[in-house]
Amino acid sequence: MVERRMWRVGHGRALDLSERGAIMAIVNVTPDSFSDGGLHDSVDAAVSHALACAEEGAAVLDVGGESTRPGAAEVTADEEMARVLPVISALRQKTDALISIDTYRAVTARAAVAAGAHIINDVHGLQRDPEIAAVAAETGSGLCIMHTGRGRTKLSDPIADQREFLALSLDIARRAGVARETIMLDPGFGFAKETLEENMELMARFAELQDFGLPLLVGTSRKRFLGTLTGRDTRERDAATAATTVALRLKGASVFRVHNVAINRDALMIADAMLETERRIAASKGSTE
pLDDT tens, position by position, 133-192: 999 999 999 999 999 999 899 999 999 999 999 999 999 999 999 999 999 999 999 998
Indicate the pLDDT class of residue 289, thresholds 50, 70 and 90.
Answer: low
Question: How would residue 74 be classed by pLDDT, with cut points 50, 70 and 90?
Answer: confident
Q: Which of 193, 192, 241, 195 is nearest to 218 (CA)?
A: 241
Q: Give the integer Cα–Cα distance in Å for 119 and 136.
A: 8
Task: Give the predicted TM-score (pTM) of the model.
Answer: 0.93
| Confidence band for 71, pLDDT divided at 50, 70 and 90 | low
Q: Which of 9, 30, 100, 11 is nearest to 62 (CA)?
A: 100
What is the residue-averaged pLDDT of the chain? 93
User: Which residue from 109, 106, 98, 27 is spatially nearest to 64, judged by alpha carbons?
Assistant: 27
Asked if 256 and 21 count as a contact pair (C-beta separation under 8 A), the reply is: yes
| Residue 40: pLDDT over 70 | no
223 flagged as catalytic: yes
Residue 73 has pLDDT above 80, yes or no: no
Geometric angle at alpha carbon 275, from 118 and 282, rounded to 5°? 130
- HSE-CB of 148 using CA atoms within 13 angstroms: 19
Identify the band that residue 33 occupies on the pLDDT scale cut at 50, 70 and 90: very low
Per-residue pLDDT for 34 more than 80? no
- Rounded to whole angstroms, the Cα distance separating 269 from 275 reads 10
Confidence of residue 246 (pLDDT cuts 50, 70, 90): very high
Percent of the chain residues topping a pLDDT of 70: 93
Res. 54: pLDDT tops 70? yes
Where are the domains positioned within the chain?
A: 6-288
Residue 41 is predicted with a pLDDT of 64
Of the listed ranges 25-34, 101-110, 175-184, the least confidently predicted one is 25-34
- Residue 36, pLDDT above cutoff 70: no
Q: Could you tell me if 23 and 264 are in contact, meaning their C-beta atoms sit under 8 angstroms apart? A: yes
Please, which pLDDT band fits residue 288 given cuts at 50, 70 and 90? low
CA dist., res. 273 & res. 66, Å (int) = 36
Q: In CATH, what number does 6-288 get?
A: 3.20.20.20
Residue from 105, 154, 224, 257 carrying the catalytic annotation: 257
Across the strands, what pairs with 229?
none
Handedness of CA 152, 155, 161, 166 (dihedral sign): negative
How many other C-beta atoms lie within 10 A of the C-beta of residue 136? 29
* Torsion over CA: 164, 165, 171, 174 (sign): negative
Our answer to whether residue 257 is catalytic in this structure is yes
- Where does the pLDDT of residue 242 fall: very low under 50, low under 70, confident under 90, or very high at 90 and above? very high
pLDDT band, residue 32 (cuts 50/70/90): low
Residue 193, phi-psi category: left (phi > 0), alpha (psi -120 to 50), beta (remainder): beta
Q: Which position among 223, 224, 237, 249 bears the catalytic label?
A: 223
Which three-class secondary structure state does DSSP give residue 154?
A: coil
Q: Determine the Cα–Cα distance for residues 209 and 149; give it in Å rounded to an integer.
A: 16
